[in-house]
């Protein structure tokens, strides 16, 4: 697995997974970094993306934990953020399926990884499941939380 320190190109595109957005909303570990990225994106210093599958993941987690009204409020807040939502089209879906074949991670996580891979962007997450991604997949991960060895 690679991180942003191994990357040779300047990073100006980031993919947020559900962990990153939930950390931001819940002021959990890594939320300060997500806030920095949101401020930079608003100032057009970087671009932020999220796959619609991972948006759905955020929504079901919020609804499960806090109810439908909170989920609807969360969606309104997300829509106000400078995040481009990427549809799970054929290219993204097939890339996610290929990653799932090689990496034992949740299928929804494969969509965030696939978008990062396709855009050659850094995947911003704290989800330890992403540590299972093989180096040859060339997914650049910016960790929001320190990973256990």
Of residues 50, 51, 86, 56, the one with CA closest to residue 74: 56
CA distance 73 to 28: 19
Q: Quick one: pLDDT at residue 137?
A: 82
The number of beta carbons lying within 10 Å of the beta carbon of residue 61 is 16
- Give tens-digit pLDDT for 67-107: 999 999 999 999 999 999 999 999 999 999 999 998 889 99
Specify the CATH number of the domain 7-143.
3.40.50.1010
The reported pLDDT for the residue numbered 148 is 54
pTM score, two decimals?
0.88
Q: What is the average pLDDT across 11-39?
A: 95
Instruction: Taking residues 18-47, report their average pLDDT.
Output: 96
Q: How far apart are CA 97 and CA 80, in angstroms?
A: 30
pLDDT at 138: 85
Sign of CA dihedral 69, 70, 74, 76: positive
Q: What is the pLDDT of residue 76?
A: 97
CA distances from 118 to 56, 60, 76, 147 (A): 20, 26, 28, 25
How confident is the model over 19-39, as a mean pLDDT? Answer: 96
Q: What sign has the CA pseudo-torsion 34, 40, 46, 52?
A: positive
Q: Strand 83-86 vs strand 47-51: parallel, antiparallel, or unpaired? A: parallel
| 8-41 residues labelled b (16+ CB within 10 A) or e (exposed) | eeeeebbbbbbbbbbbbeeeeebbebbeebbebb
How high is the pLDDT of residue 4?
A: 41
For the chain, give the mean pLDDT.
Answer: 91
pLDDT the model gives residue 9: 47
pLDDT above 90 coverage of the chain, percent: 82
């Amino acid at each position: 697995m690679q991180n942003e320190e191994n990357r040779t190109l300047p990073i100006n595109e980031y993919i947020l997974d559900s962990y990153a957005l939930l950390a931001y909303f819940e002021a959990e570990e890594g939320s300060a970094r997500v806030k920095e990225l949101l401020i930079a994106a608003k100032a057009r210093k970087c671009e932020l993306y999220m796959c619609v599958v991972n948006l759905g993941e955020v929504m079901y987690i919020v609804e499960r934990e806090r109810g439908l009204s909170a989920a609807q409020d969360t969606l309104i807040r997300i829509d106000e953020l400078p995040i481009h939502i990427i549809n799970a089209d054929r290219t993204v879906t097939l890339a996610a399926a290929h990653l799932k074949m090689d990496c034992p991670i949740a299928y929804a996580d494969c969509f965030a990884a696939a978008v990062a891979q396709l855009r050659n962007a850094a995947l911003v997450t704290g989800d330890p499941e992403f540590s299972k991604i093989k180096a040859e997949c060339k997914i650049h991960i910016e960790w929001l939380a320190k990973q256990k060895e």
